[in-house]
Structure 1
């Protein structure tokens, strides 16, 4: 007769050979005694005898736990008491324990269904499964070996070319292929690994995803090995895809993830796993995302990775919990992502910010263009802080090209209408040149900017970034044609999970019902980014403080002509992928939203700005809360994503938000610049002597100077140029260098 259903699947889940060996020991004792209840002591002896015999014959056998001995020949029967409880518990559906754990037997309902043929079939089933189990290991490449290889080699590998490196093959092919051989990994699972996209990832990973609920690490739940950035350890985790900020930005998203973690921990047993937020992968901001989204984990330190049996046991344990979770979802008909979609409709970029910025840099370099060090990081942080950036410099330095290539690297092109170049004309005098106007019949004729805004606000496009490049922005007076947008930028607020502004075109100014419905509620959405390029010469108009307050001004005046394209690099359009808008969108609108988490950074930054503001007050160029908050946001994003050092980030902000406000003539301006130079150099200067003797500059600072001992070298260099202009021309400005 065939085996009863209760017995035919008892070895479906097996972490070691112990379950099969226990069954063989019980059947052997039954054949010897014909008694249906067995002494646990005797079963332990037969259990140990079977393992010793395989070991003596040189066959593959599970190693004994390290706390017992190195070989089964050195293990005693008394030592097996705790170990043998493991297979007994695993087979509790068919085995009973009696007499205070002194004897065991099959359950009565099982004995009723077992005749002599059934007993022989059960024995053959156990023998077949144990050979299948050992054959699996004979063909298995050790997990431990691979984990140790990654932690040993990854940091040095990051100094070498990314393309074609053997670690890429290990993550994308070798390890996934080996994991698929595990008996508890079935056709439901997708396995993928990543060391980055075009550039080395800071946190490489190998994920196991149940295709019934997710096929991407951007969303849903999955099992994943996560390597710490410093390669000190690797975590096996049950994790969630981190989705985009909700109604309150990052804070709301984290709250949702914590709630989901709580629900999953209540549902699952997760025995032998840590269930807290003490997972430490990186010091950057995304490290916090990992902490709040991780349901459970086990940590393997680099020098203490357990043996393969333990690694597989942990993985099977977690997969069993994962499977139970997915089965529960399927039975209940729950939409895994439904409630999160209500909070934040878009997911985060699958790459950490630092890796995505590196991918952008690689894309631009592959296109044959070179830009100054840290320019891409600065441009990204500036857009993240506020969606309005000014690129200034002499003609031909690649300002417009930077905007175009940056957008292309994020999947935004003129073909898909996510990148729009709008040349500014000298005769523009009011917002109608950008937004549109009413013709003689009273119908509204939308301008180029309005057309982009209408496209970007469509529900199907809200997750995509849209770039508008205003070329030669200051050929006309910016305050005249751009005033409406400057004002609207200050009305940003969170509404229904998105950042919105006041309307750009009032309904009362529109005549027809169609125009009122189409254009009357048009606003500046959070997926539109405005970048203006400017040349500062005698043909252009200067900027007012109203404009400078609302933008980061990035200067392109320091040009190294001795930069050449790399012949080895070719166009690589695969690096250009559609990146979600959450990569660029601001997460904070008010300092209070993030003050608690970054209190120390805000205080350090503000203390420095107070000192600088005291200097600026003497020339009536001091800043207000708007600039204070913008600089703090810039430094907070930088700390979250670890793109620049804190000093380098503040240096950029002094250069872009403070110095453009300084202009004029006379001794007061000179004194202010000298005091600002003291801040930049982080040392005292003989200011009074330098004021009294124009021929006594006592320092020289130019593009070739060493900056090793200078706290803020970019700002110091610019101040040096501004002082030189003041001495030579009697007037200075940020724009005259």
Structure 2
């Protein structure tokens, strides 16, 4: 360059590159004639999209103070950015523009990475466009980016005394004052918020302190209740069942679990079930549907619930349905307004027990559930299972009033030390009154106004196919997974007779978490098959709605069942039980169409063939034959 004025002493790069970072920056500031690391240069593109060059480096006031190095590498600086084109467009810059910038040197122990002057991208601005810096400051303040605004103000304060002209410097001074004022207001706002938060924190600390005191008082009262026998200590301290691993067999694979269960039932219980029955029962336990076991009396429906539960170490409760059940009080109990207590049922007690042991799977079986009209006593409960799962036993207001009354009546007994002293000093009549209050109190605490159905319960119903029972309503069937249980095949007996019983005496230990309900989106190829199935059965007045789709998604969440078997089980347990129509010529054509559809299935074909055989004499095509 013609105007290039070199320093009297040229620094060799080989010496410079071994200096410390601080020494390098101080040296560059001295040689460039600046004390704030601010330079001027010209934009030039590089071969990368991640950075561009700034060449012709010089002092922002004096163009003849230039690079002090006798080395081409250090005659330029680079500016790193995400994308060069986007950066230049955003800053309204182009190749050849003169810019001002603040430089630094990235420290690294690798000398090749510790040699370049780096331009800080946030400080690169066109020399003639100082107003853009001010606009960016305003935006930062507006968007509460206080530290970015402060950095830009410091940058402006470092360059405003340079020779940009009185007009520019005057504008810079005005805007800096304005921004400082905005920042002051913002800091005051932050300070007020902090003060408000500190006051709120103090309030919360006081509330916590009050609650801690209340908890201590309640703890004292609870201990007093235990001493007086109002509360049983066994009920207060929940006992967890101790699991001895040696007593159980550990099998992870679900297919192998089903196979083991089949052999366990055969060799230990004398119960022989086709593997498709066990697969469907196991599959249904992963859904929120009611599991209906239908079949002739004596085919082992209730035994399946007992045996299967034992094989997987689940808790089971068998509830015998009575012919005179007419509403949900027969299922859940009722509130007695004379004695002011709730009168429960074994069914409700099982739900409460399950809620207290949520790691354990509970199977509640309504045995011979169609001895009475199912929709009379079960319809309301059925809706709750697949919605909010909250059972309203009685009014919350009644519960609160009872609890308040009992707590007031306890006060006169709190002066006694323990149950023995209370019994000694009270008359028989007074002590009997105390015992009545105790019973009422414990019933109230156990049977609150609302009870939540926990996720670890599965509901099963056994249904006999004979003239003494009632038919199931479409609402019940629509929410059920129906499994037809038949007499076992004698071949199963010989099949398992060769096995060693001692290899199958241990139970599995499957927890509630092993039966989590997981939905899976329906794949396109299965969706096409299901749509075809829906269209065919629609001709039979079987309408498969959104509930059906959601149930299918739960079924598909169990990928241990083969795809063909899954579709077979969906048809046999969720579609065929919905069929109940009179036979006419039009229906006969549809029957042939369904027979063709089911030709390759294992379970559905057998069931549908029996349905057709029944229809030949009774002129009704029904699953419930």
Report the TM-score when normalising by structure 2: 0.50
Bigger Rg, structure 1 or 2: 2
Higher RCO structure, 1 or 2 (CA under 8 Å, sep 6+)? 2
Report the TM-score when normalising by structure 1: 0.42
Give the helix-richer structure, 1 or 2.
2
